[in-house]
A and B are shown apart, each in its own frame.
Chain A
Amino acid sequence: MDAHWSEAAHRHFKDAGVVQVGYVPDAGLSKLIDRCREDNEIDTVMCATEEESIGLAAGAWLGGQKAVVLMQSSGVGNTINAIASLISSAKFPMLAIVTMRGEWGEGNPWQVPMGQAVEPTLNAVGVKTYRAETDEDADKMIEAGLRMTYSSDQPIAVLIAQRLIGSKVWKAGKGDGQ
C-alpha cells in the first residue's frame, strides 16, 4: 500500500502511458504535481485557468498522446463549456483528478457552493464521476478511470474527497495567512 494516493496515481499514469499533465495547483494536489514535475518523461503544463487544460488534453490526443488534467473543485466551474462543447461533442477521452473543497469540515463558506455543484455539473455535460474517500479508492479509481477513458473514449473525473485530503482550520491571527 502506498503511503499517499498520489504515489499510486503517478504509477498508474506511467503504466497507462500518460505523457502530458495539465494542471492548476491546489494544496491537495501538491504531492502529485511535484511527483509529475520531477518525472522527466512527463510533460507538465501549468495552466492559468482549468479551461485551458481541457483544450491541452484534446490537442495531446489529436497528436497521439495521453493526458490527464488536475484541478481543485472550484476549477471545475471553469471547464464546463470546454468539456461540453469539445470533449463531449467530439467524443474525446479525458481523465480529470479533482481535489474537493466545500464538502467536509470546510472553513471557507465561499468554497461550498462550487464544491457542492461539482458532481451535478460534470454529470450534466457527460462526465462520469467516481468519488474516492480513501487512498485505496483513489488508487483503484484512477487505475480503472484511465483504462475506461482511453479504452472507451470516455470523459471521467475522479473526485478526491475533502475527507481524504483533510480540511484546513481557519483562525484569525494564526499562521501565515494561506
Chain B
Amino acid sequence: MSGLHRREVLKSAFAERGDALAISGLGSATWDLASLGDRDDNFYLWGAMGNAAMIGLGLARARPDKRVVVITGDGEMLMGLTSFTTIGAKRPENLAICVLDNERYTETGRQPTATGMGTDLAGVAAACGFPVARTFKTEQDVAELGALLFKQAGPVMAVVKVVDESLPMAVPPRDGGYLKTRFRSRLLGVGAATMP
C-alpha cells in the first residue's frame, strides 16, 4: 500500500511558503521543519507539548499582515485539543495548522494515538468553527496542501495522514533564547528585538 511521506509532503507544500512564519511542535514536526533548511523565521519547539497551536494564535493576532503556519504531529495536537475551541472562537484568517498524522507517539516508541482509533482532528476543528478543515490521504489531494496552508483564508486545519516511518534526524538550533531573539530580530529588526 502506498502512502504519504511527511517530509515529501511538507517540502512540496512549503514551495509556496514565501515570507510566511512557521512554528513547529516538538519532536518529529521540529525535525521535519528543520529538514527543509533552517530559517530565522522558523520557531522550533523542543518542549511545551500541546502549545504549538496557541503560540501560532498569539503570533497570528500580533501580525495580521503575515501568514502563520503551525506544523505539528498528532500526539502534540491531541494534547492541545482545547485550543481548537479558542482558535475557533477568534477565527484568525492568517493562521493555518498542519498536522502530520502518523497515528503514533513517534518519539516515545511509536505507541498508537487516538487518531488511529476514531478521533478525526479535522472533524473536531470543523465542529469548533474552523471554516477550512480537511484530511489529506492521497497524492492527488495533497497537491492542494500548499494553497490551503499559505493562501486560503483560515483558520485552516489540514490533517495529512502519513506513513509511520523512521527518518534521519534533522536537528535545528536548540537554544530557546537564541531561537526567540533570532525570530524577533528577523521580524521586528535587531533594535526593536533587543534594545529596551
* A119 is an interface residue with CB less than 8 A from chain B: no
* A114 is an interface residue with CB less than 8 A from chain B: no
Within A31-64, the residues touching B (CB, 8 Å) are 43, 45-49, 51-64
Q: Contact at A64–B192, with CB atoms within 8 Å?
A: yes
Q: Contact at A90–B176, with CB atoms within 8 Å?
A: yes
Q: Contact at B58–A89, with CB atoms within 8 Å?
A: no
Q: Contact at B83–A48, with CB atoms within 8 Å?
A: yes
Q: Contact at B46–A89, with CB atoms within 8 Å?
A: yes
Residue of A nearest to B128 (CB): A48
Identify which of A46, A47, A55, A64 contacts B55 (C-beta below 8 A). A55
Q: Contact at B188–A46, with CB atoms within 8 Å?
A: no
**B: number of interface residues (CB 8 Å):** 39
Residues of A contacting B85 with CB < 8 Å? 48
* B73 is an interface residue with CB less than 8 A from chain A: no
* B1 is an interface residue with CB less than 8 A from chain A: no
Within A66-96, the residues touching B (CB, 8 Å) are 67, 81-82, 85-86, 89-92
- Chain A CB count within 10 A is highest, among B49, B61, B89, B184, for B61
* A99 is an interface residue with CB less than 8 A from chain B: no
Identify which of B49, B59, B83, B89 contacts A62 (C-beta below 8 A). B59
Least Cβ–Cβ distance between A78 and chain B, in angstroms: 10
Q: Contact at B83–A64, with CB atoms within 8 Å?
A: no
* B75 is an interface residue with CB less than 8 A from chain A: no
* B54 is an interface residue with CB less than 8 A from chain A: yes
Q: Contact at A59–B82, with CB atoms within 8 Å?
A: no
Least Cβ–Cβ distance between A37 and chain B, in angstroms: 13
Q: Contact at A89–B89, with CB atoms within 8 Å?
A: no
Q: Contact at A52–B47, with CB atoms within 8 Å?
A: no
Tell me, in angstroms, the Cα distance from A52 to B196 when the chains sit together: 27
* Cross-chain pairs A/B with CB under 8 angstroms, 9 sampled: A45-B90, A55-B52, A58-B58, A60-B59, A63-B59, A81-B48, A81-B49, A86-B45, A92-B180
B residues adjacent to A (C-beta < 8 A): 23, 43, 45-63, 66, 80, 82-83, 85-86, 89-90, 176-177, 179-180, 183-184, 187-188, 192, 196
